Amino acid sequence: MELFVFVVAGAMVLGGALGVVVRTHPVHAALSLILTLFGVAVLFVAQEAHFLAAVEVIVYAGAIVVLFLFVIMLLGVDKTEDLRIEPFRVQRPVAVVVGVALVSLVGLAVIASRERTVRVAEPLDVVAQDPADGNVRAIARDVFGEHVLAFELTSVLLVIAVVGTVILARRPRKGELIGSGK
Amino acid sequence: MIAFTLPQPTPTWYLLLAAVLFAIGVVGVMVRRNPLVLFMCVELMLNAVNLSFVAFARQMGDVGGQSTVFFVMVVAAAEVVVGLGVVVAILRRRPTATTDDMTELKG
């Protein structure tokens, strides 16, 4: 059963990822990205990360991709990009070679270290007493217990990001230079 | 009875899938010229790393990997917001800008 889930979700992930790279229309690329994100969410569920699967769908597929689509529509850049125009002749073969080399190197490392990575503790579903909401409780205990400072700092980070974006994307008034502070 | 002969996916399988996803993202960043699509490829790479974090979390039986993924998602959201702000500011001035035109950011 888990094999079936893995194969289907893996096909979704890889198909969507190839779609992002290959589709010339930005909107199509964004929709392919949604397919990939849903596949990753399914794989999260298959690995007992239920909370992260929900966050993946809500934050990534819900918020980030919608933000992408907003920007595409807002700027009117939803034109097909001509992939045949290539300023640097060597770039594409080099990119493919680097990609294949990366996959083979990481794959070799993963397969070579397969025997050495051992299960050091009980699986996650055994740690939690109640399997229904055990994962959420475990993450909450970890985030709000051990990493509470990092959690608070992410709120600072988000505020800085929002303020910075408002300043960056704001339309300057006539006769005003961006960044002049007046 | 077929279920007994089929292999069960191990964390190694998930790690290999994450490696392929990451490489597709890398190739996308190197090949595409639309800055918006570049950001999407960066998201692909982030998701590949998240996938491997979750695989390790299950293998080690430690929920710390999953909370790391949580923080990665927050940082990814902040990164997309700031990045799209920059892209909006550039594309508003030059609607056909590609990544090659980003050299005009030089002071």
Low-confidence ranges of chain A (pLDDT < 50): 126, 128, 181-182
Provide the shortest C-alpha distance from residue A168 to chain B (in Å).
6
Phi-psi region of A181 (alpha: psi -120 to 50; beta: other; left: phi over 0): left
Whether B47 has a pLDDT exceeding 90, the answer reads: yes
d(CA A27, CA A79): 9
Q: How far is CA B87 from CA A10, A65, A72, B37, in A?
A: 31, 15, 10, 11
pLDDT at A29: 92
- Give contacts of B59 with chain A, Cβ < 8 Å: 117, 119
Average pLDDT over all residues of chain B: 85
pLDDT, tens digit (0-9, with 9 covering 90-100), for A159-178:
999 999 988 877 777 666 65
Overall average pLDDT of the B8-12 stretch: 82
pLDDT at A31: 93
pLDDT at B31: 87
Residue with tokens 């990534």: A60
pLDDT, tens digit (0-9, with 9 covering 90-100), for B50-83:
999 999 888 888 888 999 999 999 999 999 999 8
**Structural domains in chain B plus CATH codes:** 11-94 (1.10.287.3510)
Amino acid letter, B49: V
pLDDT at A58: 92
d(CA A130, CA A126): 9
CB A169 within 8 A of CB B82: no
- Closest by CA to B66, choosing from A41, A138, A115, A144, is A138
Q: Which residue has the higher pLDDT, B13 or A129?
A: B13
Is A1 in contact with B3 (Cβ distance < 8 A)?
Answer: yes
Overall average pLDDT of the B31-49 stretch: 90
pLDDT at B107: 62
Provide the shortest C-alpha distance from residue A154 to chain B (in Å).
7
Is B36 in contact with A14 (Cβ distance < 8 A)?
Answer: no
CB A55 within 8 A of CB B70: yes
ipTM more than 0.90? Answer: no
- Closest by CA to A57, choosing from A70, A39, A72, is A39
Mutation pick from B47, B56, B86 vs chain A, by most beta carbons of A within 10 Å, is: B47
Fold of A1-85: Four Helix Bundle (Hemerythrin (Met), subunit A) (1.20.120)
A178 three-class SS: coil
Residues of B (5-44) whose Cβ lies below 8 Å from A? 6-9, 11-17, 19-28, 30-34, 36-37, 39-41, 43-44
Mutation pick from B5, B16, B44 vs chain A, by most beta carbons of A within 10 Å, is: B44
Contact partners, residue A170, CB within 8 Å, separation at least 6: none
CB B9 within 8 A of CB A6: yes
By the CB < 8 Å criterion, does B77 face chain A?
Answer: yes
Q: Which residue has the higher pLDDT, B3 or B98?
A: B98
Interface size A-B, in CB pairs within 8 Å, comes to 231
pLDDT at A87: 66
- Give contacts of A102 with chain B, Cβ < 8 Å: 19, 22-23, 26
Kindly state the tokens that stand for A35: 């397919």
Is B27 in contact with A47 (Cβ distance < 8 A)?
Answer: no
